[in-house]
Each structure stands twice: as C-alpha cells, then as structure tokens.
Amino acid sequence: MNCADAGMICVSLEVVNTFEGDVSGTYKGCIAPSSCMPLVLTMSVTAEMQVRSNMACCATSGCNDNLTLSVPPSSSWKNGVYCPACENLNKSLCVAQVDVPCTGAEEMCITLEGVSIAKSHHNFSMMGCATPSACGLRENDLMSFGGDVYKLTRNATCKNRGNVVALPSLSVIIFQVIVGLLVANVLFCLSLPECTSSSL
C-alpha cells in the first residue's frame, strides 16, 4: 500500500487474542498520523477472554516490514479490582451482568466500541479490565478483537480501579509478620526460668 499518497504512515500491530480461541497475529498497513499512538496494553473480559497487544508506527517507506513487536505476558494474579464485564460482536453496546476479578496490571475498568476495517457494519463492544495504557485509546485507533481488526468509533471510557476489594498492603503484611515474630519471641522467653524482663 502507498501510505504517503493517502497522507498516512506505516503501522504494525502485534496481537494475542483469546476471545475466539487463540488468535495471534500481526497487522501491517497504513494509519493516519493523528491515530498513531504507540501503545502496549492488555484488556480482558474473563481470564479466558483477553487481548494483549503492542502497536508502533513509522514514517519511511517499508519501515514496518521488519518491525518486530512483543506483547505483555498474561497474569493470573488477582489484584483486588473488580469490573463489570461483557462483550458483543456485531451488536450494540453490551450490557454487563457480572463483575469479574482483574489480574496483573489491569487496574482500570474500560468500555470500548468499534467497527471492523474489513467488514462493513461489523461492530464490536466490550466492558472489562484493562491496563491504564488502554484508557488512552481514542476514536479511530486500531484494536484487535475476536479475530478481526477494528477502528474505534469513540474514545475509551475508563473508571479508576472499579470495585476494589480491600487487600493488605505489603507494608501492612511486613508489619504483621514482625509483630508476630516479636510476640512469639516474648512468649518463648517467658517460658524459660532464666528469662527476665531485662532479657526481653
């Protein structure tokens, strides 16, 4: 494709998509400079339905031909955030019926809508967990979903951290461990005849 004649630049999009089986691949083509936002992100509706992607753009002829991108690794660690989740293909905005636990760095609740760049009037929508970087997605940005590449029809909508389940912080955990060790040490010492208050 001659991107320059259309006032566009080259783009490469690497995706691992598990919304419909395991769909992994690379999209290379043209994109409007205003829609090019180099971005590494992950989004999920459930642990089995996730998109992990990496996009980069460049502005010289054939520059994306050998551009190799890697996607972020998946994570099963539940971070304490819960988000409403749903997904629809070729339908209007989905309506979430459940909240799902978010994992890894996905600490935002996101809503997305888009239309296929290959199939006219083929829409998608989703709600779920996302990394903060995904909240920067804007209208006309490219996004892989369900084995197809879509152009977003509106900016991503995000809510900060969704419903947070209280989890102890690392400092609280360390403090509790230290207190537990001190108490155990005191109790052990008191059980010894030679233990005095000066030895505690």
Domain match, 150 and 103 both:
yes
Domain match, 45 and 86 both:
yes
Domain match, 73 and 121 both:
yes
Q: What is the pLDDT of residues 31-46, one digit of tens each?
A: 888 877 777 888 888 8
For 20, 142, 147, the CA distances from 39, given in Å and listed in that order, are 23, 11, 19
Domain match, 82 and 175 both:
no
Domain match, 108 and 190 both:
no
Domain match, 54 and 138 both:
yes
The pTM (predicted TM-score) of the whole model is 0.69
From CA 132, how far away is CA 109, in angstroms rounded?
9
Residue with tokens 């690497």: 14
Domain match, 14 and 85 both:
yes
Q: What is the pLDDT of residues 50-64, one digit of tens each?
A: 888 888 999 888 999
Domain total for the chain? 2
Domain match, 179 and 157 both:
no
For residue 50, give its domain range. 4-164
Domain match, 109 and 89 both:
yes
Domain match, 150 and 194 both:
no
